[in-house]
Structure 1
Amino acid sequence: MTDYRTLIDAETWAFIDRTNSYYPPDTIDYTIAQQREIYDRMCREFFAGYPDGVAVETSAIATPTHDIPIRIYRSASQAETTVLYFHGGGFILGGLDSHDDVCAELCARTGFEVVSVDYRLAPEHLHPAAFDDVMSAFEWATTTRSHPIVLCGDSAGGNLAAAVSHATRHHAKRPIGQMLIYPGLGGDRSKGSYVRHAEAPMLTMRDLEFYKYIRTGGQDRSGDTTLAPLADSDFSNLPPTVLITAECDPLSSDGAAYRDRVIAAGGWAYWFEEAGLVHGYLRGRHMVGRARASFTRITEAVSALGQGIWL
């Protein structure tokens, strides 16, 4: 059994304890409505506010069947790049408010326009609803912006960002980069971090099985690359990719596996594993030194991808 007492430092444990005080480990046993209420309260408790100089506008993208809420962040020193941000939350939680401060800080530190996308959630909207929404958001961005687009997402949002990259890699307008933060990409659950960190703080294999089931309604979607990008047989022509994972996270192995597939297909990818960190650590970036350093790495990587600089 993994000894997290030696892997995780005191600051990170304090973050874990604070998170658990708002969002207990058994939250997946509650109703979906209760889970959302608990998650939203936790996000409010960790909200860090907006940096100076960031202007925020809430809008929507119209589709033939529904509107997709978005929130646009701009800074005074805005560069001509748009970051599409897809939030985490297991495909059942989160929205424009859950990652509001993260997106504002990403905008301030890169100078890029950041557009957060409030895609539809399960179980009300089963897969591929979330994927369809982020694809619509990407298509909207390519028609309303003349400058490059970088995809960015954490956890479930990292999955969606990668799925968009795979779906659009042969389009005339495609992303110039993707930043995937502790993403779940559909890796082999019988080995690696899935086994080593099956009972990790903040995210367990039981959690992952729950999210997988509820996203699909229990349907077998094996081989569906819009659900699991690692199921794709072709990794050619993907945009430059940066993956950052947490060591104490069952999803960590997906970062290495995805990087290897991109490089084997002749592409460019960089994977960095954050020692001693846990899933969801972005929320602890103002109280955990390791998370603060990682967020700096993330913003620098997004900045480099947006400028066409391969790290």
Structure 2
Amino acid sequence: MSVLHAQVQQLVHAASARPTPQPWEMSIADYRQAGENMRALSGPVDERSTIEDLTIPTREGAVAARCYHPPAAGPTLRPGVVYLHGGGFVRGSLDTHDRLCRELCVQGGLIVVSVAYRLAPENPYPAAQDDAVDAFSWVSEHADGLGIDVESLAVAGDSSGGALAAGIALSSRVQGSPVKAQGLLCPALDATMSSDSVKRHMDGPFLTRAALEWSYDLYIPDAADRRSGLASPLLTQDFAGAPPAVIVSAQVDPVADDARRYGAELAAAGVHVRSHEYEGMPHSFPLLAGVLDDGGHAITVFARELSDLLR
């Protein structure tokens, strides 16, 4: 049986003293604000990257984005990453993942473009995926102007953003988009929730089966859509030729087996995979790097190994 790490136990105990409503017991606005408040647990911010806010045109209008350049980037083109934040397709923003993207930029020596795709329930499936695809295409087309080597461009994301990233990585095989690598942090890759871990860790902490189902109900209300490869990359029929992957996952997580199964499918298809599962860690623990030592360690591993795949 999985045992929570001592630091996670302390965090859970502290949170129990300030019980919060379930996601469906509060307004969407309050739920999103609660996610913004979690930034306090992300750790100190590395100020060494140069930040530029962007607006990226999409088929439905435009999305906000933020570009991070590592220190002393100089005139040479660098490897780049299009990053897609987590939040169950319902919350998450450029700000909630600002610290993580700064670390990915500085520790990996990467130019990172973080994308604020449209959120559910206002924008149901496939809105987030469409925005992610359009943003990645735009970055590819404007790579030189961003200082990115288009031949060394990755897509990455955490939780629900991991599903968007994997969807782009897998579809790039037929669309010819320049995806050199994919990076996934605690990815939720199966909207049908068929992984055994969904039941094994149904009570969380931090992500429960009920909250996961609630998120999918808001973003993908049609059960038939959930079986598509875009909504559920894990259900893709053929993984041959997919970009190499770095996968970081948490042991005590309803979607733990999504990461394991995806890594196994890629490896079986001959794709190079670097997988790291952190014992005793909960879902999205890298976003809690300010209070969980393994969160900081995972970000460092993720940044360096994704950088290795791009160089």
TM-score by length of 1: 0.90
The residue type paired with residue 11 of structure 2 is F
Match of 2:132 in 1: 134
Equivalences for residues 56-67 of structure 1 within 5 A = 56-67=51-62
- Offset at 1:164? 0.5
| Divergent runs of 4+, >6 A | 20-23
Equivalences for residues 66-85 of structure 1 within 5 A = 66-78=61-73, 80-85=78-83
1:165-205 superposed Cα distances (whole Å, 9 cap, x missing partner):
11112343421111110001117745521221111211111
- Offset at 1:281? 0.8
1:191 & 1:64 partners in 2: Cα distance?
A: 33
1:225-256 superposed Cα distances (whole Å, 9 cap, x missing partner):
11000111111110001111100001000111
1:197 paired residue among 201, 205, 208: 201
Higher deviation after alignment, 139-148 or 114-123: 139-148
- Offset at 1:305? 1.8
1:40 & 1:286 partners in 2: Cα distance?
A: 15
2:178 paired residue among 171, 174, 198: 174
Contact 1:187 1:254 in 2 (8 A): no
1:84 & 1:102 partners in 2: Cα distance?
A: 13
Contact 2:119 2:128 in 1 (8 A): yes
1:226 & 1:19 partners in 2: Cα distance?
A: 35
The residue type paired with residue 259 of structure 1 is G
1:292 paired residue among 291, 296, 299: 296
Indicate how the Cα distance of structure 1 residues 29 and 183 shifts in structure 2: closer, same or farther if over 3 A, else same. Answer: same
The residue type paired with residue 91 of structure 1 is F
1:239 paired residue among 243, 254, 277: 243
1:40 paired residue among 15, 36, 39: 36
- Offset at 1:34? 1.7
1:90-137 superposed Cα distances (whole Å, 9 cap, x missing partner):
000011111011111111111111110000000100100000001001
Instruction: Give 3-state SS (helix, strand or coil) of 2:230's partner.
Output: coil
Indicate how the Cα distance of structure 1 residues 17 and 85 shifts in structure 2: closer, same or farther if over 3 A, else same. Answer: farther
1:23 & 1:54 partners in 2: Cα distance?
A: 36
Contact 1:82 1:113 in 2 (8 A): yes
Give yes or no for the alignment of 1:121 onto 2:116. Answer: no
Percent of pairs with identical residues: 29
Match of 1:160 in 2: 164
Contact 1:189 1:195 in 2 (8 A): no
Indicate how the Cα distance of structure 1 residues 169 and 270 shifts in structure 2: closer, same or farther if over 3 A, else same. Answer: same
Give yes or no for the alignment of 1:9 onto 2:5. Answer: yes
2:180 & 2:298 partners in 1: Cα distance?
A: 22
Match of 1:30 in 2: 26
Match of 2:96 in 1: 98
Let me know the Cα RMSD of the aligned residues.
2.1
- Offset at 1:37? 2.0
2:310 paired residue among 284, 306, 309: 306
1:65-92 superposed Cα distances (whole Å, 9 cap, x missing partner):
3111000111224361111110000000
Contact 1:163 1:225 in 2 (8 A): yes
The residue type paired with residue 106 of structure 1 is L
Match of 2:233 in 1: 229
Instruction: Give 3-state SS (helix, strand or coil) of 1:170's partner.
Output: helix
Matched positions, count: 302
Indicate how the Cα distance of structure 1 residues 109 and 264 shifts in structure 2: closer, same or farther if over 3 A, else same. Answer: same
- Offset at 1:22? 7.3
Indicate how the Cα distance of structure 1 residues 39 and 172 shifts in structure 2: closer, same or farther if over 3 A, else same. Answer: closer
Structure 1: 5+ residue runs without aligned partners? Answer: none
- Offset at 1:29? 2.1
Higher relative contact order (CA 8 A, sep 6+): 2
